[in-house]
Structure 1
Amino acid sequence: MSDQRDNYMFGLGVLKGLGLAFRHFLETYLDDIRHWGKRYKSPEGIAYRASKDVRGIFTVQYPDEKIPVPEEFRFVPFLIYEEKDGVNEYRCTSCGICAKVCPPQCIWIVRASDPNTGRPIPDPADFYIDIDICMNCGYCAEYCPFDAIKMDHNYELASYERTHNVYDKTKLGKPVSYYASIRPINYQREETARIEAESQRAVRKSHA
């Protein structure tokens, strides 16, 4: 039995592996001929290469071409703010949950204080993320109770200085419209839930 298994692994098994590689080799050229150059340098070609229907091997001419990332793709987090009367109001309340659940501990928050009383207020004076340490796990976004921090799609973050990779509140901040543009399904679901919660609170107040 052992000899038969060895013969299969070093005989038919090798041929099967070579056959698979040869099939991919042929499919590469057949797919190119089938689409006659339209697989490249066009939005339709990029969309096709990002689909499950693609066959064979293909090249992405990066950075001239970029394969669209799926909505659930996640990279370095960003903070959401809402633009009201020309003022950027961050959703973050500096509760610190994101910093507590962060596995590599790359988040630290400076909580703002009332200038008159010195008491802490629900607003971050500053917010830092070391993107060299961040593992892009998404725990911060998952556990945030205020939908204040979300995972980004921007992966082109190279820099020449190590200090440039410690992002502060200003560099992390992006408008809610940006979040809606990169994650439309998630945004719509969250907004629907938010509206329903507000309507329920209004009903409870009216009956109080």
Structure 2
Amino acid sequence: MKIYVVGIHTDVGKTHFSAAFCKVFGYDYFKLIQAGEPKDSEFIHKFSPATHIFKEGIFLKTSASPHKGKRLERLNYKGLDINLPKSENLLIETAGGLFTPLDESVVMLDYISTFKHPCVLIGKYYLGAINHTLLSLEALNQRQISIKTLVMMGKKEEDFDSFINSYAKVKIVHLDFYKDKIETNAFKKAFSFILE
């Protein structure tokens, strides 16, 4: 199965989840577009050194929105022309949020809609996260993209979870940010349903 890891915003924990998922379930890793360094693939390699990491679809030196980096670096590519690697078990990490530009005319969600595979939506607790989460869920549902689960990063906030759950009826699973190691057994127990 191919699966997208998408975020409600930038820096919410997509790469943390991706590294753990690849390590525990033996998935290959592909970053659709990388803007700036250090590369997310370096984090994947650090925590899951056995993971096969494909070269990113597009690499931009500029740590900014891809449409800006493309212009500044005078690159010539079309976002929808990025080919997914041939792998039966592939995790595809997008950049930023669903409406982050992929080039000057399309966003991440356009790519996901064109090349449909199930997704895991990653969120983080902060002021405004309810709005960003519900907008992201609505956008995915409107494009008829299968949402395997919503993963909330960080210490659980019951008020947030209960509102999202009652409003959107989505399965919420929690994952703490990690600095030293991945608790593989706990992760496997919590997330094995995604592969069903």
TM-score, normalised on structure 2? 0.24
Q: Using CA pairs under 8 Å that are at least 6 residues apart, name the structure with larger relative contact order, 1 or 2.
A: 2
Question: Which structure is higher in helix share?
Answer: 1
| Higher Rg | 1
TM-score, normalised on structure 1? 0.23
